[in-house]
Structure 1
Amino acid sequence: MPARPRGADGARQPTVTERARRRQLVDVTTELVAAHGYAACSLQRIADAAGITKGAVIYHFASKNAVIRAAYDSVIDALTARVAEAVQTAPGPAAAVDAYVESMVGHMADHPTHVRVLAEALAPATDTGVDDAPASPTRQRALADLIAAAVAAGEYRADLDPATLAVIVHGAIDAVVAQTLTDPGYDLTAATASILDVLHRATAR
Structure 2
Amino acid sequence: MSHVWQEREHQDLDDFLIPQVLVKSPVKQSVGGQHLSDAFSMWFRGFPNLDYKETALKVLKDRVSIEWQVKGDHLGRFLGVAATGKPVLYCGTTTLVMFDQRIHAYCADVQVSSVMEQISPDPYVAKKTVGDDMYLTVNKLLHLNLTQRQIDCLALLCLRCDSRVISSKLNIKYNTFRTHVERTLPLIGLSSSRDVFDWALSSNTLEILINIALEKICTKCD
TM-score (structure 1 length as normaliser) = 0.26
Task: Give the strand-richer structure, 1 or 2.
Answer: 2
Task: Give the helix-richer structure, 1 or 2.
Answer: 1
